[in-house]
Structures are given as structure tokens and as C-alpha cells.
Amino acid sequence: MHTILIVDDSPTIRRMVRGSLGTLPDTTFMEAVSGLQAIEALAVAPVRMVILDLNMPDMHGLDVLRFVRSHEHYRDVPVLVLTTRGDSASRDAVMQTGASAYMTKPFVPAALAAAVSDLLATAPAPWTPAPSNRT
């Protein structure tokens, strides 16, 4: 089972991404509406891939990407940046920071599904948080 974390402050975009990827076998989705919520989600559940927006109200997506790439448990998780920013400076910054792929909105659903399938095919098994010892 693959869990994909969709990080975008727009409920419409999150719904469109889920709809575009709904035919992927053995895939579940988690959602985060902010960068901070994304980091929290990574800490509590194994995630096979992240689809990340750049422009969010509390924490820029590039900062989330930096966190993912700097943390030993998440550094190999594929991150596809999906953003409205189509300029080369944004693309270069994102790719230099370690994104696995970069797509702009509006996106073609079939292209998103193909990119996600390719990234999942080579993604390592996700880190699994240790169970709590609380009783």
C-alpha cells in the first residue's frame, strides 16, 4: 500500500489531485493544508511520496522540502512539487533543493498520474514511526 501526502492549502486542488490519482492501485491519501501540518503528518505515519505546493500561508513549500531532505527518515521520499509558479528561478531553486519532479498548475491529470507512477516505482519503503510505549 502506498500512502501519498498531498500538501496544498486549496481544497479544490487537493480534490483534483486525489481524483487524478484515484486509479493508482494500492494507494491511499493523506492531506495537509499547510507546511506545518505536512511535517506533523510525516512524523506520525509512513508516507511513500509527497505532492507539495510552494505557496502556503504558514510555511513556504521550499522550507518543507528543505526539512524533508535534511531529515534522515524522509530524505529519500520522492517529492513532486505542484505549483502555480512556472518561472525558471522557482523551478531551479526547487530542483536544487532536492525535489524529485516539478509540475505547474493547471496540470494535466494523466501527466500527474504518470509522473507519480514513475516516482512510486523507484521509491524506497517508507520510514515507519516506532509504536508508542504508552499504556
Question: pLDDT, tens digit, for every residue of 42-98?
Answer: 998 889 999 999 999 899 999 999 999 999 989 999 999 999 999 999 999 999 999
Q: What is the pTM of this model?
A: 0.92
CA 8, 87, 123, 108 torsion: positive or negative? positive
User: Mind listing the domains of the chain with CATH numbers?
Assistant: 2-122 (3.40.50.2300)
Residue 135 pLDDT greater than 60, yes or no = no
Element (H or E) spanning 39, and its range? helix 35-44
pLDDT band at 123 (very low <50, low <70, confident <90, very high): confident
